[in-house]
Amino acid sequence: MPRRRQLKGIAVNLAQYCMSRNFESDGYWAMGKFYAYAKKYGTDSIILNLTDYSIKPESKSNTFISAIQLLVDVVEKIINTNKIPASWVRQINIVLNFNAKYEKKYHYWGSALGGKPFFCKAIILTDLGRKYEYETTGIVWIHNPQKERQSFSF
């Protein structure tokens, strides 16, 4: 019998998936592309709304639709596997903050290589108004096709 508290675990899985190299946009790591997008628009924070397939600040192109669709597919698969009714989920957001404060316990190794610390938070809002969220952190480098290899799966 499914429980709404399982949504906390789904938030954890979603945030960790966002950090993985499997989270791709056009064959490249999506976080690097989101960081480049944030710098282009002069913002430190991006919000991905998985419920209505939107991104804030708004994009005039459909560049990130495939990345958002990938996240939606992951969430749907987890929800269906756990037999959680879709009506329990009102909204799902991913918040990316690229102006994170350096914390040695999280960012030590990657920052020595020139990366920038960032935080990723998955937020799931239920039909009863309860919010389940999980935040994780990592190091991001700006997307650069000259330095990166495109995924074979693309």
pLDDT tens, per residue, the chain with 154 residues: 888 999 999 999 999 999 887 887 777 778 888 898 999 899 999 999 999 999 998 877 777 888 899 999 999 999 999 999 999 999 999 999 998 776 665 555 555 556 788 899 999 999 999 999 999 988 887 766 666 565 555 4
Name the domain count of the chain. 1
The torsion angle over the Cα atoms of residues 136, 55, 17 and 66, rounded to 10 degrees, is -160
Whether 154 maps to a domain, the answer reads no
146 falls within a domain: no
- Is residue 150 included in any domain, yes or no? no
For residue 1, being part of any structural domain is answered with no
Task: Record the pTM.
Answer: 0.85
Q: What is the residue range of 132's domain?
A: 6-140
